[in-house]
Each structure stands twice: as structure tokens, then as C-alpha cells.
Amino acid sequence: MSPSRGSNQAATVIAIVANTMAGILGLWILMYLLDANRANDLVQFVHDTARWLAGWSHDLFTFDEEWARVVCGYGLAAIVYLFVGHAIAGRIGRH
């Protein structure tokens, strides 16, 4: 395997991980806005995972409306993961 092929594979893995993290956060935002049944195991799993991923941005904003706090807090985390993950993947992929 050539070094550039290994770099491209690593970049692909990093981009997939970033996309997956952002996808989980986006899925939780959607589930929250659609008032998904929180007693459901899948909803609980997505919420717990999203809460862990967005631990640093959860309740960062103090909007009066809870939906706005959820969208902004979890949405910010998703955007940061996408931006940082793809920036790192792009940097690695060029080498």
C-alpha cells in the first residue's frame, strides 16, 4: 500500500466518523422536534449518544424556548464535528 493510499483511507475514515457523529446529533434534533417517544429504546439510545457527543455544547444557549436550545446546542456540535472532521480529513488526504 502506498503512503497516499493509506492517507486517503485514513481521511475517509475520519470523514465517515464526523458524518456519523453529526448524523446522530441531527437525528436527535429531528426526534426532539417531532416529539418522539422517549420511552422507546431507540429514541433513548439516540438521545444518550447525542447528549454525550454534545456534552460540551449542551445548554450552551439560554433561549426561553427549549426547542431553540436543543436545535442550537446540538446543532452547533454537529456543525463543529463536520467542520473539524472534514478539515482534518482534507489535510490528511493531501499528504
pLDDT at 32 (0 to 100): 97
Q: What is the pTM of this model?
A: 0.88
**Over the range 37-75, which residues count as b (16 or more CB within 10 Å of their CB) and which as e?**
eeeeeebeebbeebeebbeebbeeeeeeeeeebbbbbbb
Contact 14, 8 (CB under 8 A): no
Q: How many CA atoms lie within 13 A of 60 on its CB side?
A: 13
Is residue 1's pLDDT more than 80?
no
Which pLDDT value is given to residue 20? 98
Q: Report pLDDT digits (tens) over 32-89.
A: 999 999 999 999 999 999 999 999 987 788 889 999 999 999 999 999 999 999 999 9
pLDDT at 95: 67
